[in-house]
Amino acid sequence: MKAMRGRWSGVKGAALAQSVLDQLMHGGDLSGLPIDAHDGRWDLRGISFPKPGKDHTRVTGLEIRNQHWMSMDFAGASMRQIRFFDSELDNCVFDSADCRNWSLWGSRIRDCSLDTTNLRETIWSSRYPRTNQMLASTLRGADLRGVVAQEVQTEDCDFSQARLDGAMFERCAIARCRFAGALSEVVFDGRDLGAAPDGRSRPAPAELDDVDFHGADFRFVEFRGFNLERTRLPDRAGIHLIPKYRSVAHRALAELAADSSKEARILSLRLEYSLRGPFRDRDAYVFNRLDFESVADGGSPSLGVLAENVLLANIAEGRHGDTC
């Protein structure tokens, strides 16, 4: 990779990189440039685009509008702060590239490899006439910390071992995707929040469809507004799917009212908090005993045991009531 990056250094290298960028921004054809092929794609490995500058109070970056990048290899490239508008990226490689602070608006990524790519603080925004799409792509080991994905159509993608700390997936239609490895403080929010503050209508939330978390390690992972019937959860002790969570939580609260222990009071507060906001009767909840055992967050092993026992008992109580 050092040799690949060396092609873009010096006066001639920088001029070639600028020529490539000019063509990519304005729909030009790379065939007129001295660029070879690598595995059937234009060999742009290690290319470095200009670093974002500052325009008084804000950081400015590159804007790519109405472009179609097809069969290009950007492995190891430096291409931060790019804003894609109404653009398409097909059959491209971004492995180990620095793509921090990207933003997508009405754009599509399809059949691309973003393995070990740095995509920190990326925004896939919904405030645009068209939604974004992430299709048939791999993001294995990618750095997606702090990503905000809003109303993104996400299908047939592999997020195995990706770093997703603090990531938000808001009203995203996620289908046939795989998540594995550590997931910490990730939120999948599928609640129907009605029209946007600006009056714009928002698409109806979609249920998670054939999403595989079997190999994931959950810590403070939240699912809001889903029934999770077609979701495979981690096969780990202490993780349970709580169907029809609203009714289960209310029965648990009624049971805890007679318990004066410190753990019962803390658990009651947590259950009441978990029921805030839009919550349909059919929505499920993913219980993770470890989240209730974390001392740093006011938990304890005894709280984890109490929460697990009370919630599971009230699932069974609900099923008993349904059959009577």
Residues 281-291: b if buried by 16+ CB within 10 A, e if exposed: eebbbbbbbbb
Q: Per-residue DSSP letters for 63-88?
A: EEES-EEESEE-TT-B--SEEEES-E
The residue that leads in pLDDT, 195 or 180, is 180
If pLDDT is split at 50, 70 and 90, which confidence band does 74 have?
A: very high
Q: Is the pLDDT of residue 320 over 80?
A: no
Per-residue pLDDT tens digits for 155-173:
999 999 999 999 999 999 9
Per-residue pLDDT tens digits for 95-132:
999 999 999 999 999 999 999 999 999 999 877 888 99
Percentage, residues of the chain above pLDDT 70: 91
At residue 57, the pLDDT reads: 47
Task: Give the least confident one: 134-148, 154-168, 222-236, 264-278.
Answer: 264-278
Q: How many CB atoms lie within 10 A of CB 44?
A: 26
What is the arithmetic mean of pLDDT over 70-93? 96
CA distance 190 to 170: 6
Tokens representing 165? 């700390």
pTM above 0.95, yes or no: no
If pLDDT is split at 50, 70 and 90, which confidence band does 58 have?
A: very low
Tell which residue, 289, 167, 285, has the closest CA to residue 225.
285
